[in-house]
Amino acid sequence: MATPTLFTRILRRELPGRFVYEDDVCAAFLSIQPLRPGHVLVVPRAEVDHVIDLSDADYDAVCRVGRTVGRALHRAYGSTKVGMMFAGLEVPHVHLHVVPIDSTGDLEFRRANTAATAEELDAALVKVREALRELGPDVAAHVPAEPTS
């Protein structure tokens, strides 16, 4: 049996994660090294390394959830745009970065906040969850009620 990825371990709650959205196909949680406050990763439950190998249904679900999270981030942070990208070089498990941005430079990994504090991440968690709940009951039903990690 292969060793589970870091993201699989987070999805299984073996490692902590600040979840903002969950359904049967994927989940979204805050990045611990955010490019900007509110940076969320949308991760399929299927452990697949390369985005082009995802099933059509899983790809569609990840993109749909990414768009929903993006709407919430735009609402919460008032950013000019919301950037979304599949990079996948950091962890061998497909993940969509969803980031509130004001310039293309906001998507540069070398500018990530590698020293984000628990307080900063918890504040973003509350803000993003609240904005997701404001999108309506269909979305709110997928926003975890548990406290921070």
**Is the model's pLDDT at 3 over the cut of 60?**
yes
- What value does the mean pLDDT take over residues 36-59? 97
How far apart are the C-alpha atoms of 38 and 30, rounded to whole Å?
A: 7
Are the C-beta atoms of residues 7 and 95 closer than 8 Å to each other?
Answer: yes
Residue 20 near residue 125 (C-beta atoms within 8 A): yes
Are 11 and 45 spatial neighbours (Cβ–Cβ below 8 Å)? yes
pLDDT confidence of residue 30: 98
Q: Catalytic site residue 39? A: no
Q: Which amino acid would we find at residue 14?
A: E
Mean of pLDDT over the chain: 95
DSSP state of 5: P
- What are the chain's domains? 6-140 (3.30.428.10)
Please pick, among 39, 74, 93, 95, the residue that the annotation labels catalytic. Answer: 95
More confident residue, 27 or 146: 27
Res 149: pLDDT: 53
Please write the tens of the pLDDT for every residue from 80-91.
999 999 988 889
Q: How confident is the model at residue 54 (pLDDT cuts 50, 70, 90)?
A: very high
- In this prediction, residue 97 carries a pLDDT of 98
Measure the CA angle with vertex 91, ends 118 and 22; round to 5°.
Answer: 60
pLDDT above 90: percentage of residues in the chain: 92
Query: pLDDT of 132-148, one tens digit each?
Result: 999 999 999 999 987 65
Q: What is the dihedral of CA 142, 67, 127, 138, to 10 degrees?
A: -30
Stretch 57-64: mean pLDDT, rounded?
98
